[in-house]
A and B are shown apart, each in its own frame.
Chain A
Amino acid sequence: MENSPEKLIIDKIIGGDRQTFREITERYHTMVINTCIGFLHNRQDAEDIAQEVFIEVYHSLKHFRQESKLSTWIYRIAVNKSLNQVRKNKRWRWIQNIEDVFAKGTHDTAVGNDGYSADRNLESRQQEAVFHSAMNSMPENQRIAFTLNKYDELSYKEIAEIMSVSLSSVESLIHRAKINLQKKLIHLYEK
C-alpha cells in the first residue's frame, strides 16, 4: 500500500490536485449515482446526494485510512448518505400524503383527458410505485446488498467488503431479498 497507484492518487488530491480529483469523479460518478438511485428511486434526488458524496470524499480524503479500496470507501459514503436521505424522506412523507390527497382530483381529471396514452402512463407509474414500495419495505441490510448487486452490478465479494460482512452473509442477504421482493410484489399486485 506504501506506494500503490491509489495511494499516489490520494496524496495528489490531498495536495490540492483538482485534475486528479476530477478523474476520480469521472471514474466513479456513474456508480455513485446508480447506488443513490437504487435507494431513492428519483434521478434528481440521487444526483443531489451523489454531489454531496463527492464533496465529502474531497474534504474527507485526508482522514481516509486506506484500509480498504478507495471505491469501497466511496460506496460506503454513498450508501450512508442515501440511507440518511431515505430516513429524511420518510419523516416528511406524511406531508406528501396530505398533498396527494388534495392533488388527487386534478390528477384524475388530467388522466381522463389524455386518453389511452395517459392510461398507459398511469399504469406504468402505478407499476413503478408498487416496485418502489416493495423495495422500500425490505429490511435495510437486504436492501443494501440487493441494491449494490442489482444497480451497481457489484460482485458478492465487493459487497461483502463494503458492508463489512462475510461472503456467505451477502449470499444469504441477496437470496432473501429476492424472495422478499417477489412476495411483496405479488402481495401488492393482488391488492
Chain B
Amino acid sequence: MSCNEIREKLVFLNAGDLTSEEEKQIFTHLDNCDGCRSLSEKLTASWMIMENEKINYNDVVFVNRIMQRIEAQELKHKNKISSPSIRILRPVAVSLLSAAAIFTGIILGEKFSVQFTSPEDQRYLEIEAFANEYFLDELEEENIETILFTQNTE
C-alpha cells in the first residue's frame, strides 16, 4: 500500500474498523515509513484525548446535587402555591402602612406647626407682606421678556 492509502486508513485503524489483514499491512508499512508513523502517532494521541475525556464511574455527588436542586425547586414552588393569602395581603398591607404614614404626617404637622397669633407675630406678618409687595416682587413685575422687549424697542 502507498503512503496515501495508508494515511486514508489511519482513522479507521484507531476506530478499530479494519480487518486483521488490513491492520497487519498498515503496521508493516508504519515500521518502514517514518512520515506515516509520525502521523499515525499524532492521530492515535488525538484519539486517546477522546477516550480520556470520557467518564466511566458513578458520580454520587452529581446525583445528590441534582436531587437537592429538585427538592429546593419543589419547596420554592410549594411555598408559592401554599400562600396565596400572602400575595393578596402584601399589597393591602403596604397600602395601609402608606396611608398610616401620611395620616401620621398630617397629625404631626398640625401639632407642631407655628401659630401666628401674638401681636408680635402679626407685626412680623405685616412686615413680610410689605416686603413682598414693594421689594421682593420687583422681579416679578419686570420679568426678562419685558426687559428685552423694552431694550429692543429703544
Contacts from A to B (Cβ < 8 Å):
18, 21-22, 25-26, 29-30, 33-34, 37-38, 41, 43, 47, 50-51, 54-55, 58, 127-128, 130-131, 134, 150-151, 178-179, 181-182, 185-186, 189
Known contacts A30-B59, A51-B69, A186-B39; 10 additional CB pairs below 8 A are: A26-B58, A29-B63, A33-B62, A50-B62, A128-B49, A179-B8, A182-B8, A182-B11, A182-B43, A189-B42
- B65: CB under 8 A from chain A? yes
Distance of A30 Cα from B70 Cα, bound (Å): 19
Distance of A182 Cα from B12 Cα, bound (Å): 9
Q: A51-B69, A54-B66, A55-B69 known; A34 and B58 CB under 8 Å?
A: no
Distance of A186 Cα from B43 Cα, bound (Å): 8
Hey, which chain B residues are within 8 Å of A21, CB to CB?
67, 70
CB distance from A172 to the nearest CB of B (A): 14
Q: A182-B10, A182-B43, A185-B43 known; A34 and B54 CB under 8 Å?
A: yes
Distance of A128 Cα from B53 Cα, bound (Å): 10
Interface readout for B43-83 with A: 1 if CB under 8 Å, 0 if not?
A: 10110011001111111001101110111010000000000
- B106: CB under 8 A from chain A? no
Hey, which chain A residues are within 8 Å of B57, CB to CB?
30
Hey, which chain B residues are within 8 Å of A54, CB to CB?
66
- B7: CB under 8 A from chain A? yes
Distance of A41 Cα from B53 Cα, bound (Å): 7
- B15: CB under 8 A from chain A? yes
Among residues of B, the one whose C-beta sits closest to the C-beta of A51 is: B66
Say yes or no: B45 contacts A127, CB within 8 Å.
yes
Say yes or no: A127 contacts B46, CB within 8 Å.
yes
Interface readout for B73-96 with A: 1 if CB under 8 Å, 0 if not?
A: 100000000000000000000000
Can you list the 3 inter-chain pairs with the closest CB atoms, starting with the nearest?
A182-B11, A131-B46, A131-B49
Say yes or no: A151 contacts B67, CB within 8 Å.
no
Hey, which chain B residues are within 8 Å of A186, CB to CB?
7, 39, 43
Hey, which chain A residues are within 8 Å of B63, CB to CB?
22, 25-26, 29
Among residues of B, the one whose C-beta sits closest to the C-beta of A19 is: B67
Distance of A43 Cα from B59 Cα, bound (Å): 13
CB distance from A76 to the nearest CB of B (A): 18
Which residue in A30, A37, A178 is a CB contact (below 8 Å) of B11? A178
CB distance from B11 to the nearest CB of A (A): 4
